[in-house]
Amino acid sequence: MSLSVCVKHAFDGFAMDVDFTAPKGITVLFGRSGAGKSTIIDAVAGLQRPNAGRIVLDGEVLLDTRAGVLVPVHKRRIGYIFQDARLFPHLTVAGNLAYGQRLNRRADDAAQMSRVVELLGISDLLDRRPARLSGGERQRVAIGRALLSRPRLLLADEPLAALDEARKAEIIPYFERLRDEVDIPILYVSHAPTEVARLATTVVALEGGRVIRQGEALDVLSDPSVLPTGVRGAGAVIEARVIAHHEDGLSELDAGGVPLFLPHVSRDLGLMMRVRIAAQDVILSRDVPVGLSALNIMAGEIVAVKRGDGPGAIVSLKTSAGPILARVTQRSADALGLVVGVHCHAIIKTVSIAPEDAGA
């Protein structure tokens, strides 16, 4: 199953022209406020008719302005998860979930309900009304209700934006499960680099109504010339396997043969994790560093240097652990001779890797 979107639209002072494909998994529309993310979501949902375009879901044409095709919202079979959960206050959790199934009754409704309740960990909440749920619990129920409508596509428009950090951390693992266990594409809007690093299978980076890059998440996030939310959001993602939990509170991962130490992560040994390393937490050294407190040192070769308009530059390093981005001053880059092809070492403080930066 996949979704292809080719849409042109103009508002006063804003022109959008995008063309991308969302395969199975989570495709994140990643960009700053005003980049056009919600306009795309609304066009796919059928809530807004773009000036021109073609949208095809799982082989079915939902929109083709040239051929005059416009499938109405209720016939698109798309689940929508909003920032606020929008549950019915007078119905219990069970009632809200059953509402998702009402349009599309099937013999295996009960089995599907148990699967979704288990997937989202909401079995203890079924008799409660929304007013007695936390924001995170409400959002889990909203995800369940959307899934139970048996959608062919899920749209999630900044579903974590209204939650505090603790609630965000509670919900992200459920989106990871959706990504890995549900068979339909999920189009997910975000401008939060950590969320993108944790969840995206595919990234569509947007700027001013245009796609500046699309592709596999780990490739797009390690490209220093693609910073849709600015230099502060730069950070590459590496994949590593949990190999030890040490008594001093550190977890040790194996990243392509290189040890990576993190503050303790509650994951089983052997599990693969994604770890985001923020570019501003990386120091570069030409020589092998000695006498440092930092535990993570990775040797690599510089593959790109992107100079910014200000005093900074982003250096992209290829290491056996995976790609690393480092944000340094242009003064340091010049003093150290950091140019493409040079070998150097990336130094990463263990404690700079926050718990939310490491996920399944």
Ligand X SMILES: Nc1ncnc2c1ncn2[C@@H]1O[C@H](COP(=O)(O)OP(=O)(O)OP(=O)(O)O)[C@@H](O)[C@H]1O
d(CA 333, CA 312): 9
User: Contact with ligand X (CB under 6 A): which of 31, 46, 50, 144?
Assistant: 31
Tell the residue number behind the tokens 């909440």, with chain if given: 125
Q: How many residues bind ligand X (CB under 6 A)?
A: 12
Name residue 206's beta-bridge partners.
211
d(CA 264, CA 160): 24
89: which residues sit within 8 A by CB, 6+ positions away? 129, 130, 131
Q: Measured from the CB of residue 77, what is the shortest distance to ligand X in angstroms?
A: 23
Asked if 240 and 273 touch (Cβ cutoff 8 Å), the reply is yes
Asked if 104 and 150 touch (Cβ cutoff 8 Å), the reply is yes
Q: How far is CA 344 from CA 116, 249, 314, in A?
A: 48, 29, 14
Q: Measured from the CB of residue 30, what is the shortest distance to ligand X in angstroms?
A: 10
Q: By CB under 6 A, what part of segment 183-222 binds ligand X?
A: 191
Q: Which is nearer to ligand X, 34 or 230 (CB)?
A: 34
Name residue 242's beta-bridge partners.
253
Q: Measured from the CB of residue 58, what is the shortest distance to ligand X in angstroms?
A: 24
Q: Measured from the CB of residue 202, what is the shortest distance to ligand X in angstroms?
A: 18
CB atoms within 10 A of CB 265: 18
Q: Which is nearer to ligand X, 36 or 53 (CB)?
A: 36
Q: Measured from the CB of residue 132, what is the shortest distance to ligand X in angstroms?
A: 30
User: Contact with ligand X (CB under 6 A): which of 27, 39, 101, 194?
Assistant: 39
14 binds ligand X (CB under 6 A): yes
Q: Measured from the CB of residue 31, what is the shortest distance to ligand X in angstroms?
A: 6
User: Pattern 135-174, binding to ligand X, x per CB under 6 A?
Assistant: ----------------------------------------
Q: In which element (H, E) is residue 301 found?
A: strand 296-307
Q: Which is nearer to ligand X, 27 or 222 (CB)?
A: 27
DSSP per-residue letters across 189-208: EE--HHHHHHH-SEEEEEET
DSSP state of 1: -
User: Contact with ligand X (CB under 6 A): which of 15, 23, 34, 244?
Assistant: 34
User: Contact with ligand X (CB under 6 A): which of 1, 4, 10, 11?
Assistant: 11
Q: How far is CA 28 from CA 35, 80, 122, 182, 187, in A?
A: 13, 15, 26, 16, 6
Q: Measured from the CB of residue 201, what is the shortest distance to ligand X in angstroms?
A: 20
- List interacting residues with ligand X (CB under 6 A): 11-12, 14, 31, 33-39, 191
